[in-house]
Amino acid sequence: MVSTATPRFPVARFATGGTYPQFRDGTVAVRGVNRALRAAILRDQRGFEPYARRYAKQVAGRRLPSRYAGYYQTELDRTLISASTTVVSVLIPRTRAVLPLRPRSDGWLGITIRVPSGARVALPELFARRGSAMRVLEAHARSDKLFVGSLRRRPAAALRNAQFALLPSGLAVGVVGPAYQDDVIVPYRVLRPYLSALGVKLAAQARWPDYRPDRANLSYCRRPALSLAELSATGDVPCATARKVEAGVFSQRCGSKNRCVASGFTCLAFWDGRYDRPFDYTHHAVCHDGTRRIEMDEG
């Protein structure tokens, strides 16, 4: 798996940011998969485009607090991607925003594609007994104590237009709260009685992908949630290494320093444009080992 820049959002005064995944394989043709991924991003942009154009026309000639009237952004979270010679499945954090920022600008883009055909798979196709399966998903959302109360009280509404990804660990479902996006991962063992033959086949073939060294873009090993804590690294840094560096930086050995070496990475405490305060004050660090980079925020 590699990351590539998100296609430009075609509305004046709207910025485009972030990356999305593309795939390479020496033995399996994945051109159709990559075309389908790009097409899904473009389709999502087209859904936002009419509103963005109306807003851009509304604020034309005004002096805005920002250079932009809004933006479209996708992010790459390594924990929400699977890829094998049978299926590619991703759950992409996505923001479609006008500025000043409005509630519910953050959302999800779930894309599951069969390999090598590039055919997209919809959530209902995974289930032979969809009603029963959705009740299982609702029960997991209702019991997730990390969700805000409004999501837990009305899980059916939160899952009405559910975006999903098939992961080796279970079915990941993206939900959107009043202020942020979150996800729940439901183990296949509780869904198995309700899966269709296609659902059983694709779930069994979900695999964590291999990452090509990618020094240009950071991707999440831990996506920011309500606490805003996050961990991200360039593609040539495994998430296990990033977590090991993070543990070292915020250990007793390093906590009172503003510079520390952890697992071969030189880390600097950084906050508000300054590097002179310790890690236990900033709760934020930037680390490098040559061109390899890690950024962390403890919230």
pLDDT digits (tens, 9 = 90+) for 120-152: 999 999 999 999 999 999 998 888 877 777 778
The chain-wide mean pLDDT, for the chain, equals: 91
- CA–chain centroid gap for 54, Å, is 28
Going from the C-alpha of 245 to that of each of 26, 158, 250, 279, the distances in angstroms are: 33, 36, 9, 13
Band (pLDDT 50/70/90 cuts) for residue 179 is low
Residue 225 pLDDT > 70, yes or no?
no
Predicted pLDDT at 213: 60
Predicted pLDDT at 29: 81
**Could you tell me what percent of the chain has a pLDDT over 70?**
97
Predicted pLDDT at 227: 65
- CA–chain centroid gap for 207, Å, is 17
pLDDT digits (tens, 9 = 90+) for 70-94: 999 999 899 999 999 999 999 999 9
Closest residue by Cα to residue 43 from 106, 104, 100, 111:
111
Q: Which of 18-32, 43-57, 221-235, 267-281 comes out lowest in average pLDDT?
A: 221-235
Mean pLDDT within 232-261: 94
Mean pLDDT within 244-255: 96
Residue 15 pLDDT > 70, yes or no?
yes
